[in-house]
Amino acid sequence: MSVRQSLLAILDQGPCYGYQLRAEFDRRTGSTWPLNVGQIYNTLDRLERDGLVEKGDVDEHGHVYWQITDAGAEEVRSWLASPVQRTQGTRDELAIKLAVAATLPGVDVSAIVQTQRRASLAQLQELNRAKYAGANPDGPEELAWSLVVDSMIFAAEAEVRWLDHSEQRLALHPHHAMSLELSTEKPRRGRPVKDPVVEQPKRDETPSATGAVR
């Protein structure tokens, strides 16, 4: 989730002060990802440093209004026109947990899958209850919030399907045949050890009695 670009997009509608920005962000996301005021101001400081926003007027209550610059407006346009790049290297804790558990001797991976499925289904039920709680889907705030909830519902449904798929695959393999023992091959650490350099004895260049160098 890009807090930076989201705040910039809100400021592109008009100047706001910190608490106002937080309230506007919550209105548009249904408070799904609540932001604290410190996070808001830290982001604004970075945006100001990058020349994307600047401080404007101060009202009678001492609120400092932040306004977007031309460079900031251009970044908003670029953000809205660009696809979101999903990071391939993102670590999924659940996938890693199952992958490791499947290789450990004596671990009932099926029980892990079933426990997770119950939790995922419970979350899915909560999301569906929240979606159909009687909100008016025609209002702009409710529509924005429902888009976020729909995304979370689809993600939860996908997780349940993946758990079902994983359980079917695991059932095809006896667990004792899949466990990995610790490797006897020790990985090298750091740079390979260089061959020791044998120092040659230095010549004694002290002149002898005859004047020759020994």
Please indicate, yes or no, whether residues 49 and 101 belong to a single structural domain of this protein.
no
Q: At what angle do helices 140-171 and 18-29 cross, to 10 degrees?
A: 60
Q: What pLDDT, on the 0 to 100 scale, is given for residue 154?
A: 95
Per cent of the chain over pLDDT 70 is 79
Please tell me whether residues 97 and 62 are part of one structural domain. no
Determine which of 96-100, 107-111, 200-204 has the lowest per-residue pLDDT on average.
200-204
pLDDT for residue 176: 54
What own/partner pairs with CB < 8 Å and gap ≥ 24 does 86-89 have?
none
Instruction: Answer yes or no: do 117 and 156 share one domain.
Output: yes
The boundaries of the domain holding residue 20 are 3-81
Domain end point (choices 31, 48, 81): 81
- Is residue 123 pLDDT above 70, yes or no? yes
| Backbone region of residue 162 per phi and psi (left: phi > 0; alpha: psi in -120 to 50; beta: other values) | alpha
Instruction: Tell me the two tokens of residue 197.
Output: 């350099």
Residue 58 sits in the same domain as residue 11: yes
Backbone phi, psi, residue 80, to 5°: -70, -30
Q: Is residue 128 part of a domain?
A: yes
* pLDDT score at 210: 47
Residue 207 belongs to some domain of the structure: no
Last residue of a domain, one of 27, 53, 81: 81
pLDDT of residue 131: 79
Q: Residue 43's domain is classified under what CATH number?
A: 1.10.10.10
Q: Check residues 213 and 49 and name the one with the higher pLDDT.
A: 49
Same domain, 32 and 60: yes
Q: What is the pLDDT of residues 151-175, one digit of tens each?
A: 999 999 999 999 999 999 888 876 6
- Residue 209 vs residues 202, 203, 204, 212: alpha-carbon distances, Å: 20, 16, 14, 8
Domain match, 63 and 116 both: no
How many domains in the chain?
2
Residue 146 · residue 100 · CB < 8 Å: no
More confident: 48 or 108: 48
Pick the last residue of a domain from 61, 81, 101. 81
The verdict on 61 and 101 lying in the same domain is: no
Asked if 79 contacts 9 with a C-beta cutoff of 8 angstroms, the reply is yes
Same-domain pairing of 107 and 158: yes
Question: Residue 99 half-sphere exposure, CB side, CA atoms within 13 Å?
Answer: 6
d(CA 21, CA 110): 46
Judge whether 199 lies within some domain.
Answer: no
Residue 173 lies in a domain: yes
Please determine, for residue 63, whether its predicted confidence score (pLDDT) is greater than 90. yes
| Assigned domain for 115 exists | yes
My answer on whether 74 and 98 are in the same domain is no
The amino acid at residue 135 is A
Is 197 part of any domain? no
Taking each helix axis as running N to C, give the angle between helix 3-11 and helix 18-29, from 0 to 180 degrees, rounded to the nearest 10: 110
Give CA–CA dist 27/34, Å, rounded.
Answer: 10
Radius of gyration, CA atoms only, the chain: 31
The C-alpha torsion from 21 through 26 and 29 to 32, rounded to 10°, is 130
User: If you search the block for the tokens 């919550």, which residue do you land on?
Assistant: 26
pLDDT at position 106 is: 81
For position 196, what pLDDT does the model report? 55
b/e map 123-136, b = 16+ CB within 10 Å? bbeebeebeeeebe
pLDDT in tens, 2-52: 889 999 999 999 999 999 999 998 888 877 778 888 999 999 999 999 999
Domain identity same for 169 and 146: yes
Within-domain flag for 134: yes
